[in-house]
Amino acid sequence: MVRVDMKKLINEPGAVVDEMLDGMVAAYPEALARLDGTNVLVRADAPVEGKVGIVSGGGSGHEPTHAGYIGDGMLDGAAAGEVFTSPTADQLGEMIQACDAGEGVLCVVKNYEGDVMNFETGIELAEMESDVEVTYVVVDDDVAVEDSLYTSGRRGVCGTIFVHKAAGAKAAQGGDLAEVERVAQKVVDRVGTMGMALTSCTTPEKGEPTFDLPEDEIELGIGIHGEPGIERTEVMDADSVTEHLTERVLEDLELDAGARVATIVNGMGGTPQMELFVVNRRLQEILGERDIETWDAWVGDYMTSLDMAGCSITLLELDDELEELLSHPVETPALTVRDD
Amino acid sequence: MVRVDMKKLINEPGAVVDEMLDGMVAAYPEALARLDGTNVLVRADAPVEGKVGIVSGGGSGHEPTHAGYIGDGMLDGAAAGEVFTSPTADQLGEMIQACDAGEGVLCVVKNYEGDVMNFETGIELAEMESDVEVTYVVVDDDVAVEDSLYTSGRRGVCGTIFVHKAAGAKAAQGGDLAEVERVAQKVVDRVGTMGMALTSCTTPEKGEPTFDLPEDEIELGIGIHGEPGIERTEVMDADSVTEHLTERVLEDLELDAGARVATIVNGMGGTPQMELFVVNRRLQEILGERDIETWDAWVGDYMTSLDMAGCSITLLELDDELEELLSHPVETPALTVRDD
């Protein structure tokens, strides 16, 4: 037995990503496959004939992001870095090639310097080794801070899931690489997110809280790796937290009465669903008061930060095209949409 | 602004169930409806013509249990008590009547004294006020303890979800009340669960941990309300925890080589998915070593205990009928199964 010095269901801290990926494949053996010798999961039937490939990736610790979104109608592959660490360029290059059926590959990259750099190198490697056509979009939906610990410009957070969904649908419908990229960029241009933390997260390697947040304080604008936010305040009630986050996203997106949105109340990993629904209640009230129509509301853990307690709120301004793409059926471990 | 003295996304602690239910309906306005003046959610199209109704309920704090399983192919209604408190008999009676389309109603009850008593009274009330035919099954899948703080006999925990799924499918396929009840009881007879906690949970009313679990100890056999388990041990690694839980369930079910099972690795509310997949990896290895075939493996938060960190493992011994029923399409907030 491995000695574990923290309250986590893990074995060797350094093996947690490897074991998690095996555990995912063991849960979905017909849907997911692991590329030999890598931390890359792909659709078991990748590459899918006649379809643009869509891949993503990033540090681990954000589950179900990204591998949870692999499947019909969303991602073809997801590369897992170590916890809060970018995947290697080599593995990204391998993933890109494994997901190319000749129609090209779109990479969805969250805006962190390591991720962007490694994806750029991975794309170069893939292009050197094969004749794959590759393009990428960078998601930077976090409205809280410009430039942060790990980014120039804004961070990429939970809005990424809407990018996966819309681009994945377009690819499943037979869109070519340029169309799929256009749709992905359209979501990037119309989505905003802001998060907050009640508690820190604890990484398996370190075994103690990543940052210190006193018992009577919360942090607004926090990132998904415990990076600093914009403001520490005393503990607030759920309605006040919801108002703070929502107002900030609304301002950023400049949403006016009559707009139509899809929303996500996202749990950070340690937050019970009960609390997320309390937040959703106030979010939908606020939107109603402003005459903004919610076309679809997601509530749950979509992009987490290990065991951090807290939430984020994401708004995506819809148009007919995006609405149709979000409705397209999908079947993945973390998200299933049935045919109407 | 309400003063909040704990790190939870709530407003008034006494309003949390009410606000959560409103937040759920706000997330799924076309699928869910709240019975006026109650904490009961039902399918928006309840009662469903020509179909046996299936309802459940229990204390809140176990989300997505139970309202998360309302929808096509599963539950018609779910009654929410206050946190860790049984729903009232009055509201259970109202729910039963609201879900009866003339084909009768099956109640799925977890084995806690308050739940069983209030369901029995609720059934009597419904029968007095209408000519509804009602029957119920009691789920007691927790193999850890006979007789506990809140039960005579074993507790009902996460195996309940398989009861909802199988009975819901049978009802959707047009089974009559006796057939639906038979299928529900068949699952009850073939399912076992055992759980463990890394940390306590904290109720909104109390605002501090329900029980004391030292930094270097975990508890095996814990219930979903912080009731005592069977053993406190020092912190163990994930493989050891998985072996303890799985062995105990296997013994209880007397599963031999050649058996076919569906499995759930269930998070208790505060456990990251990363850790659940690490547990699933070892669970599937153990089953493989014993020549037990996993037909389907679920990993996620199905029946939680507020913000408790920990997990439970559920095994259901399948036969052809149960396999077919678990495959039946379903669309609910917490579980969606697409047509093949």
Structural domains in chain B, CATH included, are 15-189 (3.40.50.10440), 191-337 (3.30.1180.20)
Residue A117 has pLDDT above 80, yes or no: yes
Q: Cis bond leading into B64, ω under 30°? A: yes
Cβ–Cβ contact A20 with B under 8 A: yes
pLDDT digits (tens, 9 = 90+) for B257-302: 999 999 999 999 999 999 999 999 999 999 999 999 999 999 999 9
B119 has a pLDDT exceeding 70: yes
If residue B287 lies in a helix (H) or strand (E), which one and from where to where? helix B273-289
Amino acid identity, position A3: R
Helix (H) or strand (E) holding A124: helix A113-129
Is the pLDDT at B338 greater than 90? The verdict is no
Indicate if the pLDDT at residue A151 is higher than 80. no
pLDDT value, residue B340: 64
Determine whether the interchain pair A273/B68 forms a contact, defined as Cβ–Cβ distance below 8 Å: yes
Is pLDDT of A252 > 90? yes
DSSP A45: T
CB–CB contact A273 B309 (8 Å): no
Do A223 and A149 contact (CB within 8 A), yes or no? yes
The structure tokens listed for A119 are 């994806």
Q: What is the pLDDT of residue A229?
A: 85
Count of helices and strands (H, E) across chain A? 8, 14
* CB-based contact A82:A29 (threshold 8 Å): no
Residue A262 tokens read as: 């899809």
Beta bridge partners, A191, equal: A316
> What is the CB neighbour count within 10 angstroms for residue B200?
22
Tokens of B302: 């199905």
Give A282's contacts in chain B (Cβ within 8 Å).
23
Band of pLDDT at residue A58, cut at 50, 70 and 90: very high
Q: Which has more confidence, B245 or B211?
A: B245
Q: Where residue A5 falls among pLDDT bands split at 50, 70, 90?
A: confident
The pLDDT assigned to B114 comes to 96
C-alpha closest to that of A13 among A26, A21, A23, A4: A4
pLDDT band (50, 70, 90) for residue B90: very high
Q: 3-state SS string over B44-63? A: CCCCCCCCCEEEEEEEECCC
* Choice between A2 and B203, residue whose per-residue pLDDT is larger: B203
* Residue B226: per-residue pLDDT: 83
- Kindly report the nearest CA distance between residue B273 and chain A, in angstroms: 6
Residues of chain A above pLDDT 90, percent: 91
pLDDT at B1: 77
Band (pLDDT 50/70/90 cuts) for residue A147 is confident
Mean pLDDT of A176-199: 98
Q: Which of residues 111-140 of A touch B (CB under 8 A)?
A: none
Cα dihedral sign for A34, A36, A40, A43?
negative
Mean pLDDT of B21-47: 98
pLDDT value of residue B228: 81
Of B153, B184, B154, nearest to B55 (Cα)?
B184
* Spatial separation of the C-alpha atoms in residues B269 and A300, rounded to whole Å: 11
Q: What is the ipTM of this complex?
A: 0.97
Question: What is the model's pLDDT at position A303?
Answer: 98
Read off the pLDDT of residues B239-248 as tens digits, 9 standing for 90 and up.
999 999 999 9
Residue A148 has what pLDDT? 74
Q: In the structure, what pLDDT confidence band is assigned to residue A340 with cuts at 50, 70 and 90?
A: low
At residue A189, does pLDDT exceed 80? yes
Q: Which of B62, B66, B244, B328 is catalytic?
A: B62
Q: Could B198 and A5 be called an inter-chain contact, meaning their C-beta atoms sit closer than 8 Å?
A: no
pLDDT at position A339 over 90: no
Nearest beta carbon to residue B307 from set A21, A270, A285:
A270
Give the per-residue pLDDT at B145. Answer: 86
Average pLDDT over residues A50-75: 98
Smallest Cα distance from A288 to chain B, Å: 11
- CB of A291 closer than 8 Å to CB of A258: yes
